[in-house]
């Protein structure tokens, strides 16, 4: 039987009885709860639910109104994201390195399995690539992270985005942003995590004399470069190979690994339990 799906998020100060109240609300709205994840960090509560409805029980306006009403009563921020029909809709966040974005655009032309709908850049450098692909490019400077993230969240809603790829996006997203898109933000990091997290990963590996380097596609969490690992690719360092050559070969792996992770995500072959991805 065809069903309608939505992701419901509650974020705010931790308090007793929230989970019971929200699950009871969804029961009253005729929903089936497909998945529920909650966490508390430094007194900040976050809960994300995947819910579904039969076509007969589905009332978009009533769902939005009741969730908003409950959020006001709990003094929490709420969000309802309805899953649009068709292939998953992808937002790509970029800074200045083009190779992963170019790989995603090339694969999209041949059949990515998802529809890129917007490219958002913390710098304007890659606007031409997006324009050539027929995609809107929005430059959102991250001088003020809170203001920038607010604008990006609005753009994601406006374009009815289902998931996000950070295509060498060189800004750290806040826990508040990440909670709203839990297990729906894919990042590519240029090392075999958990080794060499943070900036300049290729240089870190080079200076340590590592013989095998690689890249990791992972879900983004509030803890930098510690999210559940989706895919990894590796290469052997050649004797006396200079850093520039390692970086160039690694960038090709970054694109390959990102595409593997996206494919795994959109074919729904991933489950995340206790910080690990199972496929």
Final residue in a domain of this structure, among 39, 58, 82: 82
Confidence at residue 109, expressed as pLDDT on a 0 to 100 scale: 92
Question: Are residue 187 and residue 147 in the same domain, yes or no?
Answer: yes
Confidence at residue 278, expressed as pLDDT on a 0 to 100 scale: 60
The whole-chain average pLDDT of the chain stands at 92
CA distance between the termini of the chain:
26
Residue 262: pLDDT band with limits 50, 70, 90? very high
Angle subtended by helix axes 18-28 and 60-74, to nearest 10: 160
Question: Are residue 231 and residue 180 in the same domain, yes or no?
Answer: yes
Choosing from 59, 61, 225, 271, the catalytic residue is 225
Question: Are residue 235 and residue 97 in the same domain, yes or no?
Answer: yes
Question: Are residue 203 and residue 66 in the same domain, yes or no?
Answer: no
Confidence at residue 271, expressed as pLDDT on a 0 to 100 scale: 63
Final residue in a domain of this structure, among 82, 111, 126: 82
Question: Are residue 77 and residue 15 in the same domain, yes or no?
Answer: yes
Is 157 assigned a catalytic role? no
Interval 29-48 mean pLDDT: 87
167-182 pLDDT, tens digit per residue, is 999 999 998 899 889 8
Q: What percent of the chain has pLDDT over 90?
A: 77
Say yes or no to pLDDT of 269 above 80.
no
Question: Are residue 16 and residue 120 in the same domain, yes or no?
Answer: no
Residue 189: pLDDT band with limits 50, 70, 90? very high
Confidence at residue 272, expressed as pLDDT on a 0 to 100 scale: 65
pTM: 0.85
**Residue 126 · residue 119 · CB < 8 Å:** yes
3-class secondary-structure state, position 101: helix
Look up the CATH number of the domain holding residue 98: 3.40.50.170
Q: What percent of the chain has pLDDT over 70?
A: 96
In the chain, the number of structural domains is 2
98-127 pLDDT, tens digit per residue, is 999 999 999 999 999 999 999 999 999 999
- Paired strand residues for 271: 278
Final residue in a domain of this structure, among 61, 82, 103: 82
Question: Are residue 98 and residue 15 in the same domain, yes or no?
Answer: no
**Nearest residue to 219 (alpha-carbon basis) of 275, 167, 259, 162:** 275
Domain that holds residue 116: 89-278
């Amino acid at each position: 039987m065809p069903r309608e799906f939505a992701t419901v998020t509650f974020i705010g100060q931790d308090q007793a009885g929230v989970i019971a109240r929200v699950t009871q609300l969804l029961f009253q709205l005729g929903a089936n709860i497909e998945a529920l994840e909650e966490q508390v960090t430094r007194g900040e509560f976050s809960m994300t639910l995947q819910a579904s409805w039969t076509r007969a029980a589905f009332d978009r306006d009533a769902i939005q109104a009741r969730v908003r009403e409950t959020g006001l009563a709990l003094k929490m921020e709420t969000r309802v994201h309805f899953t649009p029909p068709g292939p998953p809709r992808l937002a790509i966040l970029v800074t200045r390195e083009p190779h992963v974005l170019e790989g995603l655009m090339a694969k999209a032309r041949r059949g990515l399995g998802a529809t890129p709908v917007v490219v958002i850049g913390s710098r304007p450098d890659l606007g031409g690539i997006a324009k050539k692909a027929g995609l809107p490019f929005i430059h959102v400077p991250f001088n003020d992270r809170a203001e920038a993230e607010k604008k990006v969240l609005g753009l994601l809603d406006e374009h009815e985005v289902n998931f996000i790829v950070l295509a060498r996006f060189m800004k750290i997203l806040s826990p508040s942003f990440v909670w709203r898109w839990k297990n729906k933000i894919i990042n590519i990091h240029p090392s075999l995590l958990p080794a060499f997290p943070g900036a300049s990963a290729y240089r870190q590996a080079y200076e340590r004399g590592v013989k095998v380097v690689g890249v990791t596609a992972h879900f983004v969490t509030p803890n930098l470069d510690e999210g559940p690992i989706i895919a990894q690719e590796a290469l052997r360092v050649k004797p006396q190979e200079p850093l520039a050559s390692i970086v160039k070969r690694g960038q090709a792996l970054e694109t390959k690994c990102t595409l593997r992770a996206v494919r795994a995500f959109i074919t729904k072959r991933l489950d995340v339990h206790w910080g690990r991805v199972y496929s």
